[in-house]
Every structure is written in C-alpha cells, then in structure tokens.
Structure 1
Amino acid sequence: MTIDWASMPTYNTIMAVAAGVGLLGLVQFFRDVLRRRDGVSTDGWALNFGVLGTILTTTGLHMTLTWPLAAGGFPFDNIIFGETSLGFGVLLLAAALYLWRRGSDALVGANVAEHLARVARPVSIFVAFLGGALIAIAIAGVRYQLFAAPPQEPISGAFAQWPLVEAIFMSGLLALVGVGAIAFPFAVRSVEAGRTKAAPVVIAGWSWAVSGTVVGLFGVMNFFTHIGLIVNTM
C-alpha cells in the first residue's frame, strides 16, 4: 500500500501527547489547590495550560476546518480528533488566561477551591456536553470498528486482522475521558459546597488521571508507529 502523505498530513501524535498531559495537568492543579497551604503558583500553571491549549487549538482548528485525513479515506478521524481537540484546547487557553490575569495572590487562602469551582461552574456545562460527545464517539468506534491501524504500522498493525481490538481499546479510552467530563459539573458543585471528596470529584479525578496517562503514553508510542507507517507506505 502506498499513501500520498503530501495530501494527508497527520499530527494526532502531538495532539495525543498534549491532550494526555492536559488532562493530567488539570488533576494535578486541583490537587495542588487542595494541598498547598502556601498557595499555588498561577504563573507556572498558566504557562502549562497555555502551551498545551495552543497546540490543541491550532491543530484541532486546522483539522476541523480542512479535513486533512479525508484524503486517505479517514474523514471521520477529522471529527474524532480535530473537533474534540479544538474544544479541549480552547478550554485550556481560557484557563491559562484566567490564571495569568488573576495572579498568584488570588490562589492563596482556605477557600481557593470553592472560589475556583464558582468560576468553573458556567463552563462546566460545555465540558459535560463534550463528555457526551466522547461517549457518542466511543459507541461509533465500536459499532463501526474504527481506529484499526493498517498492517504496515508497527506495533498497532499487529492487530489489523482483529479491528475490534483497537476499536474497543480506543473507544474505552475516549469513554473514560467522557465519564470524567460528564462528572465534572457535579464535581464543581460538590467542591463549591466544600465536599472535595464527594463521589463526582473522585470519579472526575481518577477518570482523567488514568485516561490522561494512557493517552499521553499512546501519543508517545505513536511517534514511533506513525513514522514507521510513513516509511512503510511511501
């Protein structure tokens, strides 16, 4: 098989790494807010979310508007990876802007978590609907057996003759992110009420911690597998 890579640019490698680290960053940021009595450095977190948000917004926007993966017969991947990355990227940029404008002094004190929950409550509705979209993508992934790598791709291609294997893996991973996103509005309301260990908070935290780790590592692996696929199909 030969692929015209000049007409089908793919960059979901860096997108996966940024998305995974972004999810982990949100979990770690909230932990810092709860544990650091001397305050949280908003400068560092603003830089972190700004860098990751810029990567996801620019690549997600380009993929959403131009559909580069359609040329190779994968138009659905532009929706799956492009639109979800765009939504997450803009949310991270908004968080970066807020933290940068507020300054470090705003995150010192006993009621920081409650304050941030009140700020996040309006946007939590969008997060929940994005979570619903991820669940829908997961269902479509299994129903139509998406995400199967071609046999020319190292590692992942070993399962090419069993497309349902990678469909279940990727769909389950996206669904896990979605579960955390759907739980997020309830987690926000729990934190706002001072219940930082309530079930929705735990569900959102662990869902994003686990899925973020796996997504990030999967993106790291894809830097090898995608290069191998390109070399094998040029």
Structure 2
Amino acid sequence: MLSATAALASEGMQTDWSLSPTYNTIMSVAAGAGLVTLVWFIRDLWVKRERNIEGYAFAFGVLGFILTATGLHMTLTWPIKGLPWDNIIFGETSLGFGVLLAATSWYLWRRREDLRTTDNPVRTLADLVRPISLFVFGLGLALVGIGIAGLWYQFFVAPAEEPISGLFADYPIVEAIFMSGLFFLIALGALLFPWAVKREAVAGRPSTLHRVAGGAWVLGGLGFFLFGAMNFFTHIGLIFNTHVPS
C-alpha cells in the first residue's frame, strides 16, 4: 500500500512551506531529552546521596516549556497542512508530556529542600504522582494507537526529496516499523507507570518493573532525540528541494 506521503513524492513534491510550518524537529529532541532525563532523575534519587534537585527542576522547566508551547500551538492550529495527522501525533502528545514536565519542574523547585533531606524521595514523588498515573496510562494507550496507525497506514515514510530518510521512500514499511517501534517503546513505560509508582513498589531498590519501564523510556527517548537531531538536516534538505520560489 502506497502511503499518502509517498504518493506526493511520486508526483514531484512542490510545497509552499510558508503555509505549512513544521517544528517537530525541536519537539522530537526535547521529548527525547525529557524521557531520558526523567529516568536519570529517578535513578539519581535512588542511588546518589547528593541530589541536584535544582538542576533537574531547571531541565524539566526548559523542556516542558518547549513542548507545551509547541504542542499547544500545533494542537490548536494544525499548522502542518499537507500531513494533518502529524498535528495529532506530535502536537497532542508533546502537549501532554510538556505539561507534565512543567508541573514536575514547579514542584521540584518548591520542594527541593524537602526532597534533598528526606530518606526516601522516590516514595515521596510516587505518592505525589499516583493520582496522575491514570493520565500517563492514557497517554500510553494513545501512543499504542499511534504506533498501530503508523503500521496500518504507513504515513511515516519520508518523500524521496528528503535526504537520508527519502532513500526509503519506495519502502514505506521500513520507516513505519522504526517510528512505530519508538512509540511502542515509550508506550510500554507509560503503561507500566501506574504499577511502578505503587507505594509497595518503591519501598526498596528498583525492581525489574522499574528497569523495564526505565529502559523502554531511555531507548525510545534516545531514538527520538537522535532522529530529531538528524531531521534538522533532513527537513532543511526537504524544504530546500521542494520549496516554491517566490
């Protein structure tokens, strides 16, 4: 089945990019960094005596602002006209994650001294986020839906005019498997989240459950981080190759 993106590519893609701004590059880098940093933060709370609460609050605040601002704009305005599903896939998920990171930043800054001195900061945070774990689980279900849609419709394929990624324009299943796989990895961590923050789950050292969830977020986060960084080149190349001269 030929995807919509590949069909556009086969016709010789020409786009007025001023009518379809795209910034899922910075969103991908920020989301990937946020997932990895979140796992680093929990690991440091569990194993380190010196707790750099302010540093993590600063990091989550920066990343949360980027994701909330860009995700909110993409969710409300649908700026990507040619690939409208991207507004849902990247906009709504970035908005949800961005607000969670921003709220985490605010809480960490306010309670930094308490978290630095408490015997079990992981349990303190687990008690805090347990009520919101249902929303995190819901985001996990949404990511599963996105991953299935990516495999079903194969819309993640890049057009032939895009450097590197465009090499697979005739094989849409390749990028569909890669991108959907990243969404499935992050979904796994989100779906395990409600059980990972149970009071009895954080009484001692990290369990297999925590390692699986954390590992899924690190792998998925690194994938989005590196792919987003690469797309700063490939998206510029796509725009250069397909823009409509004024």
The whole-number CA distance in structure 1 between the counterparts of 2:66 and 2:200 is 30
Q: TM-score, normalised by structure 1?
A: 0.95
The whole-number CA distance in structure 2 between the counterparts of 1:47 and 1:163 is 39
Q: How many aligned residue pairs are there?
A: 231
Asked if 1:113 is matched to 2:125, the reply is: no
Q: 1:114, 1:191 within 8 Å by CA — same for their partners in 2?
A: no
Q: Any idea what the Cα deviations from partners look like across 1:47-84, whole Å, max 9, x if unmatched?
A: 10000000000000000001111x22x11110000000
Unaligned runs of at least 5 residues, structure 2: 1-12
Matched residue, 1:82: 91
Cα offset, 1:110, TM superposition = 2.3
* Range 128-137 or range 182-191, more displaced: 182-191
Matched residue, 1:22: 34
Q: 2:163 aligns with which of 154, 159, 166?
A: 154
The whole-number CA distance in structure 2 between the counterparts of 1:120 and 1:196 is 19
Matched residue, 1:50: 61
Q: TM-score, normalised by structure 2?
A: 0.91
Matched residue, 2:147: 138
Specify whether residues 32 and 118 from structure 1 end up closer, same or farther in structure 2 by C-alpha distance, changes over 3 A only: same
The whole-number CA distance in structure 2 between the counterparts of 1:97 and 1:212 is 22
Q: 2:75, 2:87 within 8 Å by CA — same for their partners in 1?
A: yes
Percent sequence identity is 57
Q: 1:23, 1:209 within 8 Å by CA — same for their partners in 2?
A: yes
Unaligned runs of at least 5 residues, structure 1: none
One-letter amino acid of the counterpart of residue 166, structure 1: E
Q: 1:113, 1:191 within 8 Å by CA — same for their partners in 2?
A: no
Q: 1:31 aligns with which of 34, 43, 65?
A: 43
Q: 2:122, 2:202 within 8 Å by CA — same for their partners in 1?
A: no
Q: 1:190, 1:198 within 8 Å by CA — same for their partners in 2?
A: no
One-letter amino acid of the counterpart of residue 150, structure 2: G
Q: Any idea what the Cα deviations from partners look like across 1:86-124, whole Å, max 9, x if unmatched?
A: 000000001001001112343323211111111111111
Q: 1:115, 1:192 within 8 Å by CA — same for their partners in 2?
A: no
Asked if 1:98 is matched to 2:75, the reply is: no
Higher RCO (C-alpha 8 Å, min separation 6): 2
Cα offset, 1:37, TM superposition = 1.6
Matched residue, 2:232: 223
